[in-house]
Structure 1
Amino acid sequence: MLCDEGKLSIKCFLGTATLVLALTISQNVLGLTPHHIWGASLWGPVFYFVIICISLRLFLSDQNYQYAIRATFLGFTFSSSILVAILCPLKWKAFGVYGTMMSIFHYSEFLAIAWSNPSSLSTSSFILNHSLHYALAAISSWIEFLVEVNFWPEMKEYTIITVFGLLICLGGELLRKLAIITAHTNFNHIVSNFSTESPPPAEVCPFQFCETFQVQYKKSKDHVLVKHGVYSIARHPSYVGWFWWSIGTQIILANPVCVVIYAIASWKFFNNRVYLEEITLLNFFGEEYYNYQKEVPTGLPFINGYLLDNPITNQN
């Protein structure tokens, strides 16, 4: 069942998106916006967003406001991106499609946790502040798009490329959210918390490696190994979805440089992350996870995870 914070976020996301779209489209239909200046259509949404933010600050408590303002921002981004895709010249439409996928991804991350594991819910569940590297990657893709749309605008006018990237994004998004919902309370956005309690045995994890990557050694009482649903075809379906989603965003933008960079960077990131996480999972579940590794691949291309030559017994 959806928690109160999730319900509040839906009202803010959908309410903002509906208001911005309805008022902006009405402006255009009634001729209140100059048709020869397409950018003028986007000033209205900014004004509406500011008014909504002020209203939220006045009527909500601080904690609820923190959830609401993020959902509102994503609703604003979603609706504004739709307007860009509809109203802007062809060379800019791909950026509108990209914006809708970004806003859907980040909002649905929060909503999926609010539904499946509300006890771990926080403002970080929107993963808007994922990491500095994530922010730099996004900014670099925007810079590439802006450079190419100005110097080689014809690169951005191949609708079939945008559609292809959109399909990859949607597939990755669907897989990731299915993984989160299937894992239920066994999923959260925190992969590694350092603890010196109960370190894993040397044959599972060399101490130097664990100390460097800050592995969470202590398993929660209700943590179980999920092997059904999408986890029956891939050990890390949420990472598989995220991997292809990230590459799909750059195909949408027709960013040839960032497509390659994103593919390499995402592969290296998930290769390290899966390796680290499987050390922890072997420590948590012992032989059960060892057998699971033998039966199901990671799902990520050329990533095998942390594999042992011999089975181990559960240390818990």
Structure 2
Amino acid sequence: MESPPDSPVAQSAQMHPERAYLSGQPKSLEGIAIRSFCLGIALASSVVAVLLTLILTSSPLWRLPFFIGALSTFHFLEFWTTAKYNTPVATIGSFLLTANWPAYAIAHSAALLECLVTGVLFPNRSWAPFYSGHIILLLGFILVFVGQFVRSAAMVQAGQSFNHTIQHRKKDTHVLVTTGLYSFLRHPAYFGFFYWGVGTQMVLGNPICFVAYTIVLWQFFSKRVKHEEALLVRFFGDDYVQYKKRVGTLMPFVGN
């Protein structure tokens, strides 16, 4: 939430603009550097672990480092796209590493644990109906990569009109974007994250977490889209109403 222009916090920021970049502050350069370094290490280690597991063993547990690599890429791109295309609001929080804590961490820990147990007990994913394990894996890869691309591209196209937190006041830089991905997806960033999340569980081969992720993500975006669109109608009036009628979300029963 932004501070009023005459608040002590806002006045202090105007008098000492460099303070926000010091250690422990929202835009701490030290904090940003450490997080970027750790995400880079996690991604590089994941790539090496996936390759070594595939080359040296027949274990299906290469899926574990793949998931960690996908998470590392996602969180880095969340910050990078914000920093480059919506620079004024870029903070340490833009990495989304602690978003919806601790539920977010619990969900990913559960996914890793299920993949580990499933990999040990059912290494060939024999539970998959009609021996469809390879098809599920391929679809999962497609959803992960398409979901990540769509989300990052949507943030780039929206620029300063995109924010990780719902905005309750219309800014001067806030415009209604209806071109590019937004011409056929009403909330492409949400679309991307929804299918990215579902896709990761298909790659991991997690039947339980696949269902859980689908339900939780659907509930989250159903509520968020409803709340956000009420504000967008207030911001843009009939322009958004007509846009909403014209363009869907392509997420099942979300924003209909």
TM-score range, shorter-chain basis?
0.7 to 0.9
Question: Would you say 1:106 and 2:75 are equivalent positions?
Answer: yes
Q: What is aligned with 2:139?
A: 164
User: In 2, Cα distance between the equivalents of 1:99 and 1:136?
Assistant: 14
Question: Would you say 1:279 and 2:230 are equivalent positions?
Answer: yes
User: In 2, Cα distance between the equivalents of 1:85 and 1:160?
Assistant: 20
User: In 1, Cα distance between the equivalents of 2:162 and 2:211?
Assistant: 30
Q: How does 1:209-224 map to 2 (within 5 A)?
A: 216=168, 218-224=169-175
Question: Would you say 1:300 and 2:245 are equivalent positions?
Answer: no
| Match among 104, 112, 115 for residue 134 of structure 1 | 104
Q: CA deviation at 1:61?
A: 6.2
**Secondary structure at 1:155 match in 2:** coil
Unaligned 5+ residue runs, structure 2?
Answer: 1-20, 127-132
Alignment: residue pair count: 222
Q: What is aligned with 1:179?
A: 154
User: In 1, Cα distance between the equivalents of 2:249 and 2:61?
Assistant: 37
Q: CA deviation at 1:159?
A: 5.6
Structure 1 letter corresponding to 2:125: M
Q: CA deviation at 1:261?
A: 1.0
Structure 2 letter corresponding to 1:269: F
Are the counterparts in 1 of residues 141 and 200 from structure 2 also a CA contact under 8 Å?
Answer: yes
Unaligned 5+ residue runs, structure 1?
Answer: 1-59, 193-215, 306-316
**Secondary structure at 1:281 match in 2:** helix
Are the counterparts in 2 of residues 94 and 162 from structure 1 also a CA contact under 8 Å?
Answer: no
Q: What is the TM-score normalised by the length of structure 2?
A: 0.81
- Distance of aligned partners of 1:97 and 1:160 in 2 relative to their CA distance in 1, 3 Å threshold: farther
Structure 2 letter corresponding to 1:76: I
| Match among 69, 85, 93 for residue 116 of structure 1 | 85
Q: CA deviation at 1:161?
A: 4.0
Q: CA deviation at 1:221?
A: 1.8
Structure 2 letter corresponding to 1:144: E
Q: What is the TM-score normalised by the length of structure 1?
A: 0.67
User: In 1, Cα distance between the equivalents of 2:213 and 2:182?
Assistant: 25
| Identity percentage of aligned residues | 35
For residues 148-180 of structure 1, the C-alpha deviation after alignment (integer angstroms, 9 at most, x for no partner) is 222222229x56543431221000011111110
Q: What is aligned with 1:47?
A: none
Q: What is aligned with 2:29?
A: 64
Are the counterparts in 2 of residues 81 and 100 from structure 1 also a CA contact under 8 Å?
Answer: yes
For residues 261-298 of structure 1, the C-alpha deviation after alignment (integer angstroms, 9 at most, x for no partner) is 11111111111110010011011111111111111112
Question: Would you say 1:291 and 2:242 are equivalent positions?
Answer: yes
Structure 2 letter corresponding to 1:66: G
Are the counterparts in 2 of residues 84 and 95 from structure 1 also a CA contact under 8 Å?
Answer: no
Question: Would you say 1:145 and 2:145 are equivalent positions?
Answer: no
Are the counterparts in 1 of residues 141 and 199 from structure 2 also a CA contact under 8 Å?
Answer: yes
**Secondary structure at 2:165 match in 1:** coil
User: In 1, Cα distance between the equivalents of 2:140 and 2:90?
Assistant: 30
User: In 1, Cα distance between the equivalents of 2:95 and 2:138?
Assistant: 26
Moved over 6 A (4+): none
What's the C-alpha RMSD, in Å, of the aligned pairs? Answer: 1.9
Q: CA deviation at 1:75?
A: 0.6
Between stretches 293-302 and 273-282, larger displacement belongs to: 293-302
Q: CA deviation at 1:220?
A: 1.1
State which structure, 1 or 2, has the greater radius of gyration over its C-alpha atoms: 1
